Amino acid sequence: MFVVLVDAYTSGKYLLPEFTALGAGVVHVQSTAEFMASMPAPDLSGYAARIVHRDLAGTAASLRPYAPVRVLAGQEPGVLLADALARELGLPMNDPDRSEARRDKYLMIDAVRSAGLHCADQFTSGDPAELAAWRPPGGYPVVVKPRRSAAGDSVFICDTADQVRAAAAAVLGSATIYGEANPQALVQSYLRGTEYVVDMVSHDGHRYVCGVWEYRKRLLPSGRNIYDRERLLAPDEAPAAELMAYVDRALDALGIRFGPTHAEVILTPDGPALVEVGCRLAGNMHPGFHDHCAGGNQATLAALEVVRPRDFLDRYAGRHYDKRAEAICCTTSTTLDGVVAEVDEAVAAEIAALESVHRFDLKLGPGSRIRPTVDLYSSTMRIFMSAAEMAVIDRDYRRIEQLKDRVYRLREEVGAR
């Protein structure tokens, strides 16, 4: 049995060992001629084959000898190609007529609204003046962002028309983190409330909830709202049940019937409202950590859903995770700007030794460029934390805040005094 993964960047790398453990071979398809510079290159050494996509017919022809049973996206840029290949190969897939709506945020929210679900008001255009002239019923603030990016890339919160115009010009004048042009920008009404993550795995519309997490973000003076930390809720803790039910309906509205999904939802005074959903693993998912705190993880269940669907349906469909410990995932931000000369191993060891630190990932090394954080990909470290009580995590988190900018020592610029 073979499975195809398209663009197994970041957390997508966790799918290969899970499929291998279940006895399935895995073929990797790279959607671009070169690896995407915004993300660490995936390790392709364990794959049965590695195919660089050039055209749909050619890639499908290269895959047919393996008789794959499913095609999955390993990361956001692979979603559309995974759908196209599944359709070309006649494999189980999400609704092909709504493929674009699973990648384009404007079409996504439009589909969710059409299904009768609460969501943001929105407008899209390639003209900054048109975007600045638009007003939602509730007025300012508004959110300006690309239609097809992720990880908080170029997301601005704006309080005036001039800010909208400037933000729109910034979006339209840049590429996404995946190297795609932005012919249009999207402006949406600001959703007031707490943001949450709801991660699921589906098989033919039957779903298991892998976790509900509460986001805490940090608003910068630039208008960027960056990731800070996310906390695991118990499934019986409000508003987890309400969010699960809403996301279940949103996935139906988007034609999502198979595979892992990562949904971001804001609980507004009028109820949950979808921010976006990705048809792939959660970016901050780590199998061992999620097994520890939630009794299972999205990568293992995504592989089980494909290779042993009856087991998935019998053991997981219609159920949810079990919170076994307090847990957060912390993504550290920085104001440092320069080139990393070295990692201060003593400081890194002090962070790793904190009582609640379960796993500690340095995102940079000597020679890496470090810049002030503006999105998830420009954060400097990812730290998984767990303890019996939240007070222990909070204490260790405060210490991390004190230490985080001492981990990386920067090169002294030539001519600096």
How confident is the prediction along the chain (417 residues), in pLDDT tens digits per residue?
A: 999 999 999 999 999 999 999 999 999 999 999 999 888 899 999 999 999 999 999 999 999 999 999 999 999 999 999 999 999 999 999 999 999 999 999 999 999 999 999 999 999 999 999 999 999 999 999 999 999 977 667 789 999 999 999 999 999 999 887 888 999 999 999 999 999 999 999 999 999 999 999 998 777 666 566 778 999 999 999 999 999 999 999 999 999 999 999 999 999 999 999 999 999 999 899 999 999 999 999 999 999 999 999 999 999 999 999 999 999 999 998 989 999 999 999 999 999 999 999 999 999 999 999 998 877 778 899 999 999 999 999 999 999 999 999 999 999 864 443
Location of each CATH 3.30.470.20 domain in the chain:
191-324
Please state, in angstroms and rounded to a whole number, the distance separating the CA atoms of residues 60 and 89: 7
CATH tag, 191-324:
3.30.470.20
Contact 92, 312 (CB under 8 A): no
Residue 13 and residue 26 in contact, taking contact as beta carbons nearer than 8 Å? no
Q: How many helices (H) and strands (E) does the chain have?
A: 12, 19
Residue 266's nearest CA partner among 239, 286, 232, 305 is: 239
Distance (Å, rounded) from C-alpha 369 to C-alpha 334? 12
Joined together, the tokens standing for residue 80 give 């559309």
How far apart are alpha carbons 305 and 313 in whole angstroms? Answer: 8
- In this structure, are residues 153 and 129 in contact, taking their beta carbons and an 8 Å threshold? no
CB neighbours of residue 218 within 10 Å: 12
- The structure tokens listed for 112 are 């969710």
Q: Which of 191, 141, 149 is nearest to 170 (CA)?
A: 149
Rounded to whole angstroms, the Cα distance separating 156 from 197 reads: 20
CATH class of 2-93: alpha beta
Specify which residues 6 forms β-bridges with.
29, 73
Strands 49-52 and 25-30: parallel
Query: The CATH number of 327-410 is which of 3.90.1170.30, 3.40.50.2300, 3.70.10.10, 3.20.20.70?
Result: 3.90.1170.30
CATH, domain 121-189, list 1.10.260.40, 3.30.70.1070, 3.30.1490.20, 1.10.3720.10? 3.30.1490.20
Give the residue range(s) of CATH 3.90.1170.30 domains in the chain. Answer: 327-410
**Domain boundaries for CATH 3.30.1490.20 within the chain:** 121-189
139 CB burial (10 A radius; 0-12, 13-18, 19+):
exposed
| Domain boundaries for CATH 3.40.50.20 within the chain | 2-93
